[in-house]
Copies of this chain bind each other. A is one copy, B any other.
């Protein structure tokens, strides 16, 4: 199916760079071979190039699931033409999600924040195919994914298909987390997808139009114009602010008769909004909202959402109340997608909250599956898990004690492998690890810093307290995508000359530096 473009490119390459052509042509003979359900569609226009004898290795096939921040960043950064890439995503575009709150009020046009995936990949030197479909099952054992076409066009029962992979990159993101609160799915808007933003935009205007109709009591108008935002994270806060500005700068002019009936409420179960940020930011936002007349209700848990009322319980005193609303936007963080849940069961991660990977973004318990973005977290290795291995590796003379000098030889590898060490040193305001080791010695022995295994354990015992999960942000996802693409770009090179830290438990070095 995708052979045509490849041949075109190959023949172009032939003309431009005669030395390149051989490799490309050879590879072309195998492109498409690793997809099970690939339609056998005629390679068109095979004129100037002839497939070779097939002696070379077939291209390794990378299947990418998802075209969000992580998936798109991976695609943009992948430059090694020795892979064949197949993207499967229910959306044929990448959306610049931090601007979704602006799209809800029309400040930014939807078209301005999307980039077609086919546009992103069509000029690359790597062959990238795209299927608009959702993956509903990952079969790690047989290295294949099951997909289903979305959308309206009828495919005569051919909507499902299977794609094989050599490497799988899972970047499917997350879904909105409802905490199983009754009525949320039925009655609330989310703000994760572009379609959500457009739907919110229509609903806001709808509410103003409805409130302007005759026959309604003022009480009813107030209900319709009561906008509730659940969740005081960045998305909820941003949306509340945008909505406030939209109402006060634009809608008051168009709907002067109902403008005084509008109310915006922000419900946050925690003690503060934006609690992941610096306290000054929180204080500023809370203060600004107060001045703007946005009713911020902290410590308020939503217990139920009916078609016209939202019920809350105060965390402090358990007080229960209900308020009528016109529109609710639910933005309380992310939950795991059902396909990911199913996959986690397969690989014995069923009791985890989210897909766990190692520091190289490889899914734990699998060989060739990588996961990045909001559908995964890096399960950082604890220093204390490996403490004996580290000690043994560092104790080169096998004396049973570790000198500062001995330790200094592995220190870079330790810091690279266990980033929490550096964070701990920083938090303790220590210059270097020698200070840490010294601190573990009893006072009288400070001068001769030589530790046995027990002292070494004691020295590093607090280090793991500094482990932190990365936030589920667009930035982290994009960085992970770029990181993984660069690993793939240099896969063979780093196989030969590993550039990662020492393997404390095994032999040799890791191929790549871990993701930071």
Contact = CB atoms under 8 A, between A and B. Distances in A.
Interface of A: 1-5, 8, 35, 37-39, 41-42, 44, 92, 109, 111, 116, 118-119, 122, 130-133, 149, 151-156, 158-161, 163, 203, 205-207, 209-210, 212-218, 220, 224, 253-257, 260, 307-308, 326-327
Given A92-B205, A220-B155, A213 B131 contact: yes
Interface pairs A-B: 7 shortest CB-CB: A132-B209, A118-B254, A153-B210, A161-B215, A151-B206, A37-B214, A38-B214
A42 to B, nearest CB: 8
Central interface residue in A1, A3, A160, A210, by most chain B CB within 10 Å: A210
A35 B213 CA distance: 12
B257 A131 contact: no
A216 B155 contact: yes
A116 B212 CA distance: 15
Copies of this chain per assembly = 2
A254 B119 contact: yes
Nearest to A130: B212
Contact of A203 (B1, B5, B152, B307): B152
Contacts of A213: 131-133, 149, 155, 158-159, 161
B326 A153 contact: yes
A254 B116 contact: yes
A214 B161 contact: yes
Contacts of A152: 203, 206
A220 B44 CA distance: 18
B118 A257 contact: no
Central interface residue in A41, A119, A203, A308, by most chain B CB within 10 Å: A41
A156 B206 contact: no
Nearest to A155: B210
Contacts of A130: 212
Central interface residue in A153, A212, A216, A253, by most chain B CB within 10 Å: A153
A209 B151 contact: yes
A8 B252 CA distance: 14
Given A132-B209, A255-B118, A1 B214 contact: yes
Contacts of A116: 254
Given A109-B109, A205-B92, A254-B122, A308 B154 contact: yes
22 contacts: A1-B214, A35-B214, A38-B214, A39-B214, A39-B216, A39-B217, A42-B218, A92-B209, A109-B111, A131-B213, A149-B210, A151-B206, A151-B209, A151-B210, A153-B207, A153-B327, A155-B210, A155-B216, A158-B220, A159-B213, A160-B215, A161-B214
